[in-house]
Amino acid sequence: MFTGIVEERGEIIARDDLDRAARLQIRGPLVTSDASHGDSIAVNGVCLTVAGLDGDVFSVDVMDETLQRSSLARLGAGSPVNLERAMAADGRFGGHIVQGHVDGVGEVVRIDPTENWTVVRIAVPTELARYVVEKGSITLDGTSLTVSALGEDDGRTWLEVSLIPTTLAETTLGLARTGDPVNLEVDVIAKYVERLTGAGAPHRNEKGE
């Protein structure tokens, strides 16, 4: 489990495309400082397993399912990535519950810089829109953020987040441009609530069977 507090902005230094998979080599001095084979590290919000270590570089294997459901398929050598180690049991819970399971890919549709922060608008896939609420939590490329605004244009739902200078400087969101893909993980609590209230529950007959 993660909290969405990005620890460092790393860099993919190599990518090997395999049969319906890819192996990435990623430089991350901080996250590799105490990493071991088999540990979990979130890469742009995707929970991946450390398959190898070489100094401050770790390697991960990304299966086809993950490539299809996230923006990792579009990344290669030179791409910056947000990195976070799995949360320690005695660690601080600075963000919100983040599983590292990407629900879909959004798109940056607008960037409005101001004197003290930058507002970024993200188009949200239709199937995820019902899980997003104003002032609720959202994970963008592994970064825990608060939804500052929510709306719809031409039948397309969008959300906005307001990014402070620290977030802009220390995560990939500060490098985002209009049209860029963004990994989205909605609040898992919203999905459980939907399930428990019946929207996604199995059908029951009058006897409750």
What is the Cα–Cα distance from 64 to 115, expressed in whole angstroms? Answer: 42
Q: Is 40 left (phi over 0), alpha (psi -120 to 50) or beta?
A: beta
Task: Print burial letters for 180-189: b (CB count within 10 Å at least 16), e (below 16).
Answer: bbbbbbbbbe
3-state SS, residue 74: helix
What is the Cα–Cα distance from 93 to 104, expressed in whole angstroms? Answer: 24
Q: What is the pLDDT of residue 145?
A: 96
Which tokens belong to 58?
Answer: 């770790």
Give the percent of the chain with pLDDT over 90: 79
What is the Cα–Cα distance from 113 to 119, expressed in whole angstroms? Answer: 6
Tens-place pLDDT, residues 2-35: 999 999 999 999 999 999 999 999 999 999 999 9
pTM above 0.75, yes or no: yes
Average pLDDT score over the chain: 92
Reported as a pLDDT band with limits 50, 70 and 90, residue 89 is confident
Task: Print burial letters for 29-41: b (CB count within 10 Å at least 16), e (below 16).
Answer: eebbeebeeebbb
- Site of tokens 């605004």: 149
pLDDT at 205 over 60: no
Average pLDDT, stretch 108-137? 95
pLDDT at 208 over 80: no
Tens-place pLDDT, residues 90-121: 777 778 888 899 999 999 999 999 889 999 99
Structural domains of the chain ordered from first start? 8-85 (2.40.30.20), 104-195 (2.40.30.20)
Q: Is 44 left (phi over 0), alpha (psi -120 to 50) or beta?
A: left
pLDDT at 59 over 90: yes
